[in-house]
Amino acid sequence: MLDKCTAFRGSSRIAAGDLRHVAVKAKEAIDLLAQEPVLIFDNTTSELVEVDFRGTAEDVLNRLPRAGDAEAEIPRKPGRPKLGVVAREVTLLPRHWEWLNSQPGGASVALRKLVEHARRENRETDRIRQAREAAYRFMSAMAGNEPGFEEAARALFAGDRPRFEEMVKGWPPDVRDHATRLFAEGA
């Protein structure tokens, strides 16, 4: 279940918070003015959250995923499922396989160590990249046709806050404010 999302009707923010709260507010907005689309964004990734708004607010809530539902739907695959190990295919050159197989514990242990090392070393860089990608995803969906969009996107990825704020100042206030909050998370 998503803990934090934000719903927009057109360029106006309807609600923010957990998915159940936001879905009810979005349903009310749809019932009030059905012809204008409502979009719900995951605040972490800016991915659109799909919600089936048919029926009553209670019907909408009953169709939302519950905590733990996603785990129940994951099909079992080869590996060591109790440890969360999942077998997948990796394509490498022969010299890479030779090196991996010569490492203590073999290829799997060596790959896990390499991945963990890279995760630790790149944690902050990855966080910034993911936050900027989320901001760009939101901006593309909500402000792709707004004046200054392309220059705002350049400023976002350059981490140039003054230039970003200059480019978004003419955008609808709720869209501008949400994009600016997302920019700050990637700074």
**Does 162 lie in the same domain as 130?**
yes
C-alpha to C-alpha distances, 182 to 94, 135, 177, 178, nearest whole angstrom: 43, 5, 9, 6
**Does 59 lie in the same domain as 88?**
no
Among candidates 51, 31, 33, 30, which has minimal Cα distance to 41?
Answer: 51
C-alpha to C-alpha distances, 45 to 20, 58, 112, 126, 136, nearest whole angstrom: 18, 27, 25, 13, 10
**Does 57 lie in the same domain as 37?**
yes
> Which residue ranges of the chain lie beneath pLDDT 70?
1-3, 67-82
Residue 72, pLDDT score? 46
110-115: list long-range contacts, CB under 8 Å, 24+ apart. Answer: none
Residue 1, pLDDT score? 46
Among the three residues 54, 70, 86, which one is the final residue of a domain in this structure? 70
Residue 80, pLDDT score? 64
Residue 87, pLDDT score? 79
**Does 82 lie in the same domain as 41?**
no
DSSP assigned state of 106: H
Residue range(s) defining the domain that contains residue 164: 124-185
At residue 23's C-alpha, the angle toward residues 152 and 20, to 5°, is 110
Number of structural domains found in the chain: 3
**Does 108 lie in the same domain as 129?**
no
**Does 101 lie in the same domain as 143?**
no
Among the three residues 29, 46, 70, which one is the final residue of a domain in this structure? 70
What is the spatial distance between Cα 183 and Cα 99, in angstroms, rounded to a whole number?
A: 41
Among the three residues 87, 106, 121, which one is the final residue of a domain in this structure? 121
The predicted model scores a pTM of 0.77
